[in-house]
Amino acid sequence: MRNLSISLATSLLSGLLLYLWRLSYAFSDLAVLWLLLLAAMIFLGNWSLVIDHWLAERAIVLKPESWLSRWLSGRILAFFSSTLLVGALVPFLAWQVLNMSAAEAAILLGLVYSSAWLFLWARGGVGGHFMPPFDRILTLGSSAWLVGLPFAIVLFLVSWRTTSVPLSMLDATFSEAVQSGFDALPERPGWIAEVLAFCYAVKAAKLWLVVQLRDYPLVALVFNLDAALFGFLVARAGVVVTNFIDTHYDREA
């Protein structure tokens, strides 16, 4: 029951924050606050995993009284690792959510729930043999891969089936294709629109490239690989958010 509660909390809370972002972005740039809450959970969840791993290994190789302990705290590694994950995932996720279909949203919720549940279930089994925090560390990567791989394939196929090529793209120049990406932006100016413009432009440029090389089917496959990569990133994020909620769940208990 505990694993079920935490898995549901992870998927529903993440989904709610993204839905509020999509809903409120049409009115104000303050919608970014919902993304910041999600980014904070991802950052702190990954931070605790990296720090705990570092401190556990440091305790094995470094004497407690060594003055090196204050310098080898692991905080720099945890900061860059967490910042990289947030920076790679949250902007891409924010852009995807604005254009996501109900089917894709359901797939992502299933992905987050599955990665959360598998992480907690596997940690329970591994915890019978390994000391903390190695029980969490050993199940982190395997949970993300075991869930991320099948869902990445599903997202790839959905993207493959649902992506359509506008007729105007057949005769468009590269600059015209990029401009069509800018035109697809939500009709509201602001600094967030400037950030998202890059994602829209890249997608339009990739679509233009696929059209130009339509005699080479493998190019079309590459166009959809970002959907598969996105699946792995979401699986990883699902695990670290689960770790964040799980840690605070224990404190409340």
What's 171's DSSP letter?
A: S
CA distance 219 to 224: 9
CA distance 211 to 170: 6
CA distance 41 to 102: 24
Q: What percent of the chain has pLDDT over 90?
A: 22
3-state SS assignment for residue 76: helix
CA distance 125 to 147: 17
The pLDDT value given to residue 251: 54
The pLDDT value given to residue 219: 66
Q: What is the pLDDT of residues 188-211, one digit of tens each?
A: 667 787 777 777 787 778 777 777
Q: What is the pLDDT of residues 66-96, one digit of tens each?
A: 888 778 888 899 999 999 999 988 988 888 8
Report for 14-18, 102-106, 185-189, 249-253: range of highest mean pLDDT: 14-18
Distance, first Cα to last Cα, the chain: 14
On average, the pLDDT of the chain sits at 82
